[in-house]
Structure 1
Amino acid sequence: MSKYLVTGGAGYVGGVVAAHLLAAGHAVTVLDDLSTGFRAGVPAGAEFVEGRVQDAGKLLDASYDGVLHFAAFSQVGESVNDPEKYWRNNVGGTVELLRAMRDAGVRTLVFSSTAAVYGEPTAVPITEDAATAPGNPYGASKLAVDHMIGGECAAHGLAAVSLRYFNVAGAHSSAAGFQGERHDPESHLIPLVLQVALGTRESVSVFGTDYPTPDGTCIRDYIHVDDLADAHLLALTAARPGEHLVCNLGNGNGFSVREVIETVRRVTGHPVPETPAARRAGDPAALVASADRARERLGWRPTRTDLADIVADAWAFARRDASGGNDE
């Protein structure tokens, strides 16, 4: 059994990864200030410490085998309006975390990075060798952390893996209950469309219907949160001292906005009215990952790649969440 610190483990992805670690027999400490996470998102069996990532030094000691770092603000629009918040937390917080890890002798890190570091792609699918040109402070802050981690590996022998996510969706279920996507405000497509199916939102806005895609709407790569969590556990094993490994995580298939909406209609049996809207600045026509490196270096094989299955899991969680945790 190993012992891990999960920063941001009360959030959507961090909480599911913590649950996977526990299921694998590891001891888990979750550090989260609950500014965007939820206490209910911390899986049963994990030790919970309320605090900021800058407080990691108060927890870390030689008993920890590694850190999985999810503690970051992630709203693109907010990052444009309040960039200093993102530099202070995402970058400054990681500076303090790396120092705390070095002081405690904890030498393995898995970092939650993002496809936002690539900006507008010049080719699809996107590989890790693609040019990085983030179009907003959120993506820029994550890229800065990637560079910082690379320096830490070269200078101090850290073993680190950065996992660049595309669109994470779905929900995790276990004997302890469901863990799924819950943001305030919500900005991700699948939970927004499910809110319409639930009747808590009148319609879903379709931002741009004239893109150079088969149905005119943006295409995105959706990965099931359980597949994503599997990759984090594999990354802990694949990390090597002095190396900073960067891997994309995605389904490898693209689904358009209209395909997602139609899938939600089919899975839920509810109508989902659409409202056409203008394109959003900086929205690429297509973002699809090449995850070949994750397959080769991590031995990762996503198994939950069907969009209908991803939506069905998210729908099951959304219904339970809306009803206070009771089946309808």
Structure 2
Amino acid sequence: MILVVGGAGYIGSHLVKELVEKEDVVVLDNLSTGHREAVDNRAVFVKGDLGNEEDLLMVFRSYPIKAVMHFAANSLVGESVTDPLKYYQNNVAATLTLLKVMMKFKVKNFIFSSTAATYGIPEVDVIDESTATNPINPYGHSKRMVEQILADFAKAYGLRYVVLRYFNAAGAHPSAVIGESHDPETHLIPIVLQHLLGEREQVSVFGSDYETPDGTCIRDYIHVTDLAAAHILALEALVSGKKTAEIYNLGNGLGYSVKEVIETCEKITGKKATVEITDRRPGDPARLVASSEKIYNELGWNAERNLEQIIKDAWKWHQEKRY
């Protein structure tokens, strides 16, 4: 059985929907940002907290866990700056509690949903796994700390792990049964689609004078279903013994500008957006794009769905939103 912590959240729920086709799954989530309705009914759901050792002990005593997949981090960059205690408490300390219980029950396989925020503001156009990590906010620091903890646990206790670093998960399940629903919403594609549905007055673009072809920031977007597929490939490689300690980037290798994203949303929906250009946000680099060459060569993964498909699926979800 596979334990998915944070399996009621956006990325976690999409992973669970794919994983239940292959494995028995138990989801642990405190529903602080996740949605019970998003969890596939073929998975066992346990409401509990990652940092509560008693909750974890109950799960490990009740189910034969062979691997753990971790999606239960707090992930808002701005909030991490204003409330670092929350981020270090949940993202680092609570993860240590989970690892402690895993060691107690001799569960040695761990998939960690990390972030390309561990790289900070890199000086390269396309980031690969050899790019130096230099986080610039508590969120990025908290993820990088866990990556170091995993490396140390591997040496000391024989933990086997795969870390997956990525930027912007986007889109929704093609069925539109589950999708992206955050409160507050901070991600560009759902913000644009909410505006085009009449739920927001306008779309703010933070800076239009960057050194990019159209002046707006370029970011790496991956369809959330492609992300789920990468996590399952990583799990299979770990459980089979093919991999024992790896870090992989997940990216489309190209990137899309803010302007391109807005224009594609307009094309898919047939609606025109009201756009306001505002000041740059501090610390926003012009371009953040990740290479997935390593995971393609080793596990055969690449991002199959392009920006249009991402937005088509997201639009379908937003029109039929269920939670």
Q: Does the 8 Å contact 2:166/2:249 carry over to 1?
A: yes
Q: How does 1:178-257 map to 2 (within 5 A)?
A: 178-239=177-238, 240=241, 243-257=244-258
Secondary structure, in 3 states, of the residue corresponding to 1:161?
Answer: strand
Deviation, 1:241, is 8.7
Q: How does 1:64-75 map to 2 (within 5 A)?
A: 64-75=65-76
Q: Which amino acid aligns with 2:308?
A: A
Secondary structure, in 3 states, of the residue corresponding to 1:245?
Answer: strand
Write the deviation string for residues 232-273 of structure 1: whole angstroms up to 9, x where unpaired.
110012224993200000111110000000000000011111
Q: How does 1:1-328 map to 2 (within 5 A)?
A: 3-24=1-22, 26-54=23-51, 55-61=55-61, 63-174=64-175, 178-239=177-238, 240=241, 243-304=244-305, 306-321=306-321, 324=322
Q: Which amino acid aligns with 2:246?
A: L
Q: Which amino acid aligns with 1:58?
A: M
Q: Does the 8 Å contact 2:237/2:243 carry over to 1?
A: no
Deviation, 1:107, is 1.1
TM-score (norm 2): 0.95
Determine the C-alpha separation between the residues in 1 that align with 2:209 and 2:186. Answer: 21
Deviation, 1:297, is 2.1
TM-score (norm 1): 0.94
Deviation, 1:302, is 2.5
Determine the C-alpha separation between the residues in 1 that align with 2:302 and 2:17. Answer: 19
Q: Does the 8 Å contact 2:292/2:302 carry over to 1?
A: no
Write the deviation string for residues 8-38 of structure 1: whole angstroms up to 9, x where unpaired.
00000000001111122x1111100001111
Q: Which amino acid aligns with 2:311?
A: V
Determine the C-alpha separation between the residues in 2 that align with 1:139 and 1:89. Answer: 13
Q: Does the 8 Å contact 1:33/1:52 carry over to 2?
A: yes
Aligned length in residues: 317
Secondary structure, in 3 states, of the residue corresponding to 2:31?
Answer: coil
Write the deviation string for residues 110-153 of structure 1: whole angstroms up to 9, x where unpaired.
00000000010110210111111111100100000000111111
Determine the C-alpha separation between the residues in 2 that align with 1:4 and 1:273. Answer: 45
Q: Does the 8 Å contact 1:154/1:243 carry over to 2?
A: no
Q: Which amino acid aligns with 2:21?
A: A
Determine the C-alpha separation between the residues in 1 that align with 2:271 and 2:103. Answer: 52
Residues 93 and 242 of structure 1, relative CA distance in 2, 3 Å threshold: farther
Determine the C-alpha separation between the residues in 2 that align with 1:290 and 1:250. Answer: 6
Determine the C-alpha separation between the residues in 2 that align with 1:58 and 1:146. Answer: 26
Q: CA RMSD in A?
A: 1.4
Determine the C-alpha separation between the residues in 2 that align with 1:277 and 1:102. Answer: 49
Secondary structure, in 3 states, of the residue corresponding to 2:88?
Answer: helix
* Ranges in structure 2 where 5+ consecutive residues have no aligned partner: none
Write the deviation string for residues 84-118 of structure 1: whole angstroms up to 9, x where unpaired.
10000000011011111111111111000000000
Determine the C-alpha separation between the residues in 2 that align with 1:242 and 1:209. Answer: 43
Determine the C-alpha separation between the residues in 1 that align with 2:192 and 2:136. Answer: 25
Q: Does the 8 Å contact 1:158/1:241 carry over to 2?
A: no
Determine the C-alpha separation between the residues in 1 that align with 2:158 and 2:268. Answer: 48
Deviation, 1:311, is 0.4
Determine the C-alpha separation between the residues in 1 that align with 2:78 and 2:287. Answer: 19
